[in-house]
A and B are shown apart, each in its own frame.
Chain A
Amino acid sequence: MNGPAILLRVAERFGSRILETHDRLGDQTAVVDRAALIELLTYCRDELGLKFDMLMDLTAVDYLKYPGREDGPRFEVVYHLYSLPHNHRLRVKVALEEDDPVVPTVVDLWPIANWFEREVWDMFGIRFEGHPDLRRLLMYEEFQGHPLRKDYPVSKRQPLIGPKN
């Protein structure tokens, strides 16, 4: 299935719960309402014509200082899906408000989400509800703050601390 057809199919199925779709630079993107995220991703994974069996990447973007988006939701969690049987891709995004940076986990759908979500929690402070083991992945436990947030100064230094025990 080609990209626009995927978007059309997803948009038909989910109607207004897909907030926006766009097809730019050859990448197809669907922005979904948080409440429908799991349903959409499950549909993408299991539906015969889609079969997105790989979660290629999961990351987030902090739009705090993005020109023109000052009032919009601060974070976006970005899922890059890939289908081995059909060789097509889809990007799914979900927007999150600053005071409620929580999304449901997708560990049950793709086990790799475990580490990807830990990294996003570590770097952005976005919590994944239902994650079995949401520890920091790259930074150490005592680290204060989330370094890839736009309000974390790039020159900020923190002491390196050894393990607690």
Chain B
Amino acid sequence: MKVRGITEMAERTTREIFLGEGSGTGSGSQHLYVNMGPAHPAMHGIVRILAELDGETIVKADVEIGYLHRAFEKECEVGGYNNAIPYTDRLNYVSPLINNFGYASCVEKLLGIDVTERCKYIRVIMSEISRICDHLTCVGASAMELGAFTVFLYMIKAREYLWEVVEDVTGARLTISYARVGGVKADLPEGFAEKVRRAFKETRQVLDEVHRLLTGNRIFMDRMVGVGAMSREETVGYAITGPLLRACGVPYDVRGAKPYWVYDRMEFEIPTGRNGDNYDRYLVRMTEMEQSMRIVEQALGEIPAGPTNVDFSGNPIDPALYVDRGKTGKTEGLLLIPITLSPNLQGQERPVYERVNVDDKRVVLPPKEEAYGSIEGLMNHFMLIMEGYGIQPPKGEAYFPVEGANGELGFYIVSDGSGRPYRVRCRPPCFPPMAALHKMIEGGMVADVVPSFGSINMIGGELDR
């Protein structure tokens, strides 16, 4: 952390230092060094930009990150495979569901299991809802920083409707921890489709209003068009994915390039821009929200009934099998004992939560009635939770990319065959754009840092991990 030029500054007057006036060392004016951040009102994360200014033009910028480093990758190595799921919530805290599912899918790839159809649809639906939340936050916050406070309020209102849906499903708004290796925590609640439809109606209305407020707005366009642009070659060289890459006209989207879950059955378009500037990024995000809603509506129409969880070998678990297999009759009586569950465990009871096959290796926790009501269920539960047991994928490594709201979110997991991941690497989608941020702002005005930085949608949680 060196502030360059500090020695020259020491002998100069206040006006010279703060206003960049004076002759400086050579002829003409002298460059001024300005710190933006780590805590700055226009930086919606903690990040520091050390900018070298010539008047109001940025000559050179150095971006410093790491202020939110929480040792995510190290912590993952400490606990079992499912223990990392709460940490993945905190990677991208605006769309935590996508991180959850990306991580779970990577472990499933290591295990070689395929989740059930219903679970895949649930993952698609919840991921797309998260993507809309993420884009709403990004566009809303960027617009607010340019003075359009109304847009921010409208978009946060829409996000609120969607978060209510998320809360209905997962029990939390932000730290949802909804995915499990081999499935999800609980099935969709009753009346889910209707709630989503209502939320989408509100969201569409908001998007329409925002379009009318911003898209042709003179002030907004002046600040966005041509600002923060990057060429296609640079963007690719910096491995930038997501809306920023698509704004350059490259239709790369993991959902289309390598469809996972059931994206291959969905019909959607991948919107692209042309100029790669902030305005095109804004348009791409706005269009993507509509496409995400389209995907959710298709998925809600097609979602099959059936179990959400599978056993280790990837077979849906037949409820009767649990009793039949290995356990000779005695358990049947025990299983009939009515158990009253705490309301905190809603969604984890037997009717919505498939029973687990009694097998040597298991992945999914048993329904709570069984964990509390039968010795087998309790043992099963313990075997998955106890240290040294739990989910044990075979030795190997796997990389699983999903399309996060900001681009390709990849998990690379190395397993040593034990109950803990040997190495978990997260490829955060907003890391490459932050590495390229200096390219976007150099040569521009100080005020243009704000929209460019906003268009990246930096999320400190996943950037610094």
Real binding pair:
yes
Q: Which residues of A approach B to under 8 Å, CB–CB?
A: 24-27, 29, 53-57, 59, 61-62, 65-68, 78, 80, 84, 87, 89, 91, 110-112, 114-115, 123, 136-141, 147-148, 152, 154, 163-165
Is the Cβ of A165 less than 8 Å from the Cβ of B238? no
Check if B75 is an interface residue, CB within 8 A of chain A.
yes
Which chain B positions have C-beta within 8 A of A66?
A: 416, 422
9 tightest A-B contacts by CB?
A163-B1, A138-B66, A115-B435, A112-B239, A57-B427, A138-B69, A59-B425, A112-B238, A111-B237
Interface set, chain B 57-102, CB cutoff 8 A to A: 65-66, 69, 71, 73-75, 77-78
Chain B 402-417, CB-CB to A under 8 Å as 1, else 0, gives 0000001010101011
Is the Cβ of A154 less than 8 Å from the Cβ of B74? yes
Q: What are 21 pairs between A and B in contact, CB < 8 Å?
A: A24-B396, A24-B397, A25-B110, A25-B112, A53-B236, A54-B239, A56-B401, A56-B408, A57-B412, A65-B416, A66-B416, A68-B395, A110-B238, A110-B239, A137-B65, A137-B66, A138-B66, A138-B69, A138-B464, A138-B465, A139-B66
Interface SS of B by simple majority: mixed
Is the Cβ of B435 less than 8 Å from the Cβ of A67? no
Which chain A positions have C-beta within 8 A of B112?
A: 25
Which chain B positions have C-beta within 8 A of A154?
A: 71, 74-75, 77-78
Q: Bound state CA distance, A57 and B241, in angstroms?
A: 12
Is the Cβ of A57 less than 8 Å from the Cβ of B410? yes
Nearest residue, chain B, Cβ from A62? B423
Query: Interface-forming stretch among B209-217, B250-258, B331-339, B383-391?
Result: B250-258
Nearest residue, chain B, Cβ from A59? B425
Q: Bound state CA distance, A59 and B426, in angstroms?
A: 9
Nearest-Cβ distance from residue B422 to partner chain A, whole angstroms? 6
Is the Cβ of A140 less than 8 Å from the Cβ of B66? yes
Nearest-Cβ distance from residue A23 to partner chain B, whole angstroms? 12
Is the Cβ of A84 less than 8 Å from the Cβ of B238? no
Is the Cβ of A84 less than 8 Å from the Cβ of B410? no
Which chain A positions have C-beta within 8 A of B121?
A: none
If A27-B398, A112-B435, A115-B431 touch, does A54 touch B412 (CB 8 Å cutoff)?
no
Check if B6 is an interface residue, CB within 8 A of chain A.
yes
Q: Bound state CA distance, A66 and B417, in angstroms?
A: 9
Is the Cβ of B74 less than 8 Å from the Cβ of A148? yes
Is the Cβ of A55 less than 8 Å from the Cβ of B252? no
Which chain A positions have C-beta within 8 A of B238?
A: 110-112
Is the Cβ of B250 less than 8 Å from the Cβ of A84? yes
If A61-B423, A67-B416, A154-B78 touch, does A87 touch B410 (CB 8 Å cutoff)?
no
Q: Bound state CA distance, A141 and B2, in angstroms?
A: 11
Which chain B positions have C-beta within 8 A of A114?
A: 435
Q: Which residues of B approach A to under 8 Å, CB–CB?
A: 1-3, 6, 65-66, 69, 71, 73-75, 77-78, 109-110, 112, 234, 236-239, 250, 252, 257-258, 395-399, 401, 408, 410, 412, 414, 416-418, 422-423, 425, 427, 431-432, 434-436, 464-465
Q: Bound state CA distance, A78 and B425, in angstroms?
A: 11
Q: Bound state CA distance, A110 and B233, in angstroms?
A: 10
Q: Bound state CA distance, A68 and B69, in angstroms?
A: 32
Is the Cβ of B74 less than 8 Å from the Cβ of A25? no
Interface SS of A by simple majority: loop
Which chain A positions have C-beta within 8 A of B110?
A: 25
Is the Cβ of B66 less than 8 Å from the Cβ of A55? no
If A25-B109, A91-B399 touch, does A67 touch B66 (CB 8 Å cutoff)?
no
Which chain A positions have C-beta within 8 A of B237?
A: 53, 110-112
Is the Cβ of B258 less than 8 Å from the Cβ of A25? no
Nearest-Cβ distance from residue B259 to partner chain A, whole angstroms? 11
Cβ-defined partner of A56 (8 Å) among B3, B77, B239: B239
Nearest residue, chain A, Cβ from B111? A25
Which chain B positions have C-beta within 8 A of A152?
A: 74
Q: Bound state CA distance, A136 and B237, in angstroms?
A: 22
Which chain B positions have C-beta within 8 A of A59?
A: 412, 425, 427
If A112-B435, A165-B6 touch, does A27 touch B77 (CB 8 Å cutoff)?
no
Is the Cβ of B69 less than 8 Å from the Cβ of A141? no
Which chain B positions have C-beta within 8 A of A57?
A: 399, 410, 412, 425, 427
Q: Bound state CA distance, A69 and B327, in angstroms?
A: 40
Which chain A positions have C-beta within 8 A of B75?
A: 154
Cβ-defined partner of B74 (8 Å) among A65, A89, A147: A147
Q: Bound state CA distance, A41 and B239, in angstroms?
A: 15
Nearest residue, chain B, Cβ from A67? B416
Is the Cβ of A165 less than 8 Å from the Cβ of B73? no
Q: Bound state CA distance, A165 and B6, in angstroms?
A: 10
Which chain B positions have C-beta within 8 A of A24?
A: 396-397
Q: Bound state CA distance, A92 and B1, in angstroms?
A: 34
Is the Cβ of A56 less than 8 Å from the Cβ of B410? yes
Is the Cβ of B66 less than 8 Å from the Cβ of A84? no
If A112-B432, A147-B74 touch, does A80 touch B65 (CB 8 Å cutoff)?
no
